[in-house]
Structure 1
Amino acid sequence: MSSHATLTRTVAEWIVHQSSTALPVEMDHHVRRMLLDHLAGVAASSVGEVSAAVGVHVARTYRGSTATAIGHGRTSALGAAVLNGTNGHGIESDEGYTPGSMHPTSVVFPAVFAVAQERGISGDRVLRAAAIGMELACRLADAGHPATRNRHFHNTPVAGVFGAAAAVSVLLGLDEDGVANALGLAGSHAGGVFEFLGGSAEVKRFHPGKAARDGITSADLAEAGLTGPTTILEGRDGYFAAFAGEEGTDWFADTVTRRLGEEWVLLRTYVKPYPCCRHLHGAIDAMLALRDEFDLDPESITSIEVGTFAIATRHAGRVLDTVLQGQLSLPFTVAVAALTGSVTLTDFSETARQDPRALALMDKVVVRLDEAADASYPKTGRPADVTVVTSDGARYQHRVEQPYGEPTNPMSDTDLEVKAYGLLEPVIGLAGAKTLVEACWNFDTLDFLDELDAAVRSAKPV
């Protein structure tokens, strides 16, 4: 038996204790930041094709009216979790936690909101449940990363389902045994593989929705009396054994429990300034810095070399048939940054992906492994080094250790609002965006979700 045989129980005990403890002021504010970032992305994504496809499935399968699926009206709690979770990850705008390479909001908030609406729960308890679930998801993802990713698993759903189960357990008021069983049940729902990268399959967007739904199911079944393995995290055939490998080599129990209840690792989540894979952001920042500092003319660029960590080098695709392929392409996004001086959602439209100038510049981008960057990721940074050569033979180089939005290179509340308005205004207008921004900062009820849903639906083309 492992010396950490009580890991699942330790986590369950913390969840129950934390559920009756007020969030520190700094943490309360941070969760509201995450809420604003999340809902802006959900609203912007809810008018897209993936959202429409999942909406058809939800309408067929999850009938009810107890929870709000933004942009789709009322449905069941499970249906709302599926749709809002999918849309939370739908345009690659969602925040994340670098040490675990995962996006906690797109899994946990949809699960929490759906159950809170269904059960009539509001106020601090909702934010507290969300914070607890996201904290656990980040710690679990970190404890097994990058071994989990190297085994081809997508950390957001595989670790996120535990966070969703934990958060919903808080809302349901489960005791330690109940929480341990909910986590045990969540282990059987963990899943999501990276094969979507090969053809940029849109199932990637669905992963958080699936995990949010399954987290609700796990907690609900535990409340109903179904048991799960209460050694799910540390067991010989448990989560870490299956998804990571050997303890002390591939995963680390201490990462889960270190200063648990004293320190919130959730405070170290990042905010994305660009709607694309976070692994690309360091190179984008470096390219933008070079463009601004040296007033580079894109027409004069003869080559762009990007050195970065190994996982980022896997995102060197040059096929741009879909939005997702563009959002996962380091050569394309760096070319766009060099060409336009920004990377925005419109840069991934079909027209933008076919822009001859962007395609010509993309062909000049070379991606290579940077050993120092690889040694830094994921524990201390997401480095990228960009070197630009121009037609006159001049060379310009810039290195970014941490992309903008990381806790050591943070995005201010003001810039976060600017990002949110940029996502919201095209969908619900300035007045609607202002209402949502204020509702997030002053959160005490979920009543605004129906208002947001109505605003999105009224803006959708008939």
Structure 2
Amino acid sequence: MIGVPVASMMTDPLPDTVSAWARTALEDTLAVLVAGTRTPLYEAVLTAARHHPGPVPAIGTSTTTSPLWAAHLGAVAASALDFDDGHYRGGGIHAGSTVVPVLLAAAGDVTVGELLRGMVAGYEVALRAGFLNSPGRTGGGYRASGYAATIGAAAALAAVRGNVPTVISAAVRTAFAHAPHSRMTSSASRESIGWAAASAVAAVELAENGFGTEATDTRHRAPAGATPFEQSEDAPVTGSLGREFWCVETYVKPWPCCRAAHAMLEALLPFSGRDIARVDVDVVPGAVGLDLTEPVNLSEAQYALPWLAALTLLRGPAGLSSLSERDFAAPDIVDLASRVRLRPGRAASANGGYPSRVVVLMNDGTSFERTVDDTLGSATRPLSPEALDHKLRQALGSRLDASTIETLRATLDQPDAPIDGLLRLLTT
């Protein structure tokens, strides 16, 4: 029963490395969430949430709404800039942008320490759910982040709310049955991450009211049926839950765009400001279709590899740090982007990442080649404390003053602090 190891993660000692990871990951997710509240995507969902009154604050506003819609809003904000963390082994999914907003919106009167434990449990379940569904797959069987993240967030929320293992298991089974099966068919859907958060809250509320806990469900009949956790023969994946922690392998993004672009961008940075005729980029096969040269909005720009390459070469790191609407149709960027060619020339790296090789041809006829296999921000190439601090202050500074940022960081260091204090800071 999956509820047993999930419940145990709320009480058993966690390895120091896991606790330290959780503290950093929570801070990073809160930062990108706050920054994401300034996007048109967040404003659109906020308009809908205002029709559903409730007690939970909508971050960055004076609006309050229901737990379900607050979770939806938080997840949209945390993923809107494509700055949220991710994990290769779970199929490239983003667990944090669903798990953390769900806990903030619906956990109730809990502490920062309990939030961190629930977050670890949520990541561990989500990453395994993603792996069991489609390990290493990017084709027709691939399901985007929202699918696995729903399952992890439901497990986390059910555990943090103090439910017994049978109810946690029911919430997980129900989440498997109702998780969005979206593929990346619409940039606005953001891999169904917003809907994933809402579905997770609903799954827990259903389980707490008896849905999926009746005796017939133990024989995998209606309403939810068996899950891959119960069907899998891969014991190292399912049996290691609560004993081996995949979450520490999570990558953190240095730039707000698709992770498949990051190795390419890092390889191109030394050539910023040079007189360039053409760029050939070898990427993993699944990234070849991300060949847009003139995006019309932020969601498109985050996945437009030729445009991102041209932006990097013409604007440097400053252009990457905050994608700007004024640059979407900038003639110089669009012109150079039209001379960037993507080729399916790289296999996924050993850890499942997205390596890249660039060949840069200068107008004087010289050419240069550079390869990045292990992308900056991975578990083996983590961002420096200075880089993490810069990202935090840049993201939070879009809404919070310096004093509030320091208070927020200090609160995260207090395991017994109530999370309603966090919410007050985030809605300042």
TM-score (norm 2): 0.90
Q: Are 2:171 and 1:182 aligned?
A: yes
Q: Distance in 1 between matches of 2:218 and 2:371?
A: 46
What is the match of residue 92 of structure 1?
82
What is the Cα deviation at residue 195 of structure 1?
4.6
Q: Distance in 2 between matches of 1:52 and 1:376?
A: 38
Q: Distance in 2 between matches of 1:52 and 1:358?
A: 28
| 1:448 aligns with one of 415, 421, 427 | 421
Q: Distance in 2 between matches of 1:164 and 1:437?
A: 23
What is the match of residue 255 of structure 2?
274
What is the match of residue 460 of structure 1?
none
Q: Distance in 2 between matches of 1:169 and 1:20?
A: 14
Q: Are 2:265 and 1:284 aligned?
A: yes
Q: Secondary structure at the match of 2:378?
A: coil
Alignment of 1:117-156 (within 5 A): 117=108, 120-146=109-135, 149-151=138-140, 153-156=142-145
Which one-letter code corresponds to 1:203 in the other structure?
Answer: S
What is the match of residue 326 of structure 2?
351
Q: Deviations over 1:81-135 (max 9, x none)?
A: 1111111101111011122211111111111122223xx1214222111110111
Q: Are 2:88 and 1:115 aligned?
A: no
What is the match of residue 459 of structure 1?
none
What is the Cα deviation at residue 68 of structure 1?
2.6
Q: Are 2:44 and 1:71 aligned?
A: no
- Going from structure 1 to structure 2, the CA distance change for 1:125 and 1:454 (only over 3 Å counts) comes to closer
Preserved contact between residue 274 and residue 344 of structure 1 (Cα < 8 Å): no
Q: Distance in 1 between matches of 2:141 and 2:51?
A: 31
Preserved contact between residue 151 and residue 175 of structure 2 (Cα < 8 Å): yes
Count of aligned pairs between the two proteins = 419
- Going from structure 1 to structure 2, the CA distance change for 1:146 and 1:259 (only over 3 Å counts) comes to closer
Q: Distance in 2 between matches of 1:441 and 1:399?
A: 39
What is the Cα deviation at residue 231 of structure 1?
7.6
What is the Cα deviation at residue 173 of structure 1?
2.3
Which one-letter code corresponds to 2:4 in the other structure?
Answer: E
What is the Cα deviation at residue 346 of structure 1?
6.5
- Going from structure 1 to structure 2, the CA distance change for 1:239 and 1:387 (only over 3 Å counts) comes to farther
- Going from structure 1 to structure 2, the CA distance change for 1:178 and 1:159 (only over 3 Å counts) comes to same
What is the match of residue 422 of structure 1?
394
**Which range moved further: 257-266 or 123-132?**
257-266
What is the match of residue 11 of structure 2?
20
Preserved contact between residue 180 and residue 230 of structure 1 (Cα < 8 Å): no
- Going from structure 1 to structure 2, the CA distance change for 1:169 and 1:355 (only over 3 Å counts) comes to same
Gaps of 5+ in 1: 1-8, 242-246, 456-462
Cα RMSD (Å): 2.5
- Going from structure 1 to structure 2, the CA distance change for 1:334 and 1:438 (only over 3 Å counts) comes to farther
Preserved contact between residue 301 and residue 389 of structure 1 (Cα < 8 Å): yes
Q: Secondary structure at the match of 1:427?
A: coil
- Going from structure 1 to structure 2, the CA distance change for 1:23 and 1:430 (only over 3 Å counts) comes to same
Which one-letter code corresponds to 1:376 in the other structure?
Answer: S
Q: Deviations over 1:337-386 (max 9, x none)?
A: 1112216567532211122221121111100001xx32537x44321001
What is the Cα deviation at residue 302 of structure 1?
0.8
Q: Deviations over 1:3-39 (max 9, x none)?
A: xxxxxx2x33211222221322221111111111111
Q: Are 2:161 and 1:172 aligned?
A: yes
| 1:81 aligns with one of 68, 71, 84 | 71
Q: Distance in 2 between matches of 1:239 and 1:148?
A: 19
Q: Distance in 2 between matches of 1:181 and 1:396?
A: 56
Q: Distance in 2 between matches of 1:356 and 1:442?
A: 50
What is the Cα deviation at residue 156 of structure 1?
1.4
What is the match of residue 405 of structure 1?
377
| 1:437 aligns with one of 399, 409, 420 | 409
TM-score (norm 1): 0.84
What is the match of residue 359 of structure 2?
387
Q: Report which of the two has the higher share of helix.
A: 1
- Going from structure 1 to structure 2, the CA distance change for 1:180 and 1:451 (only over 3 Å counts) comes to closer
Which one-letter code corresponds to 1:302 in the other structure?
Answer: A
Q: Are 2:289 and 1:314 aligned?
A: yes
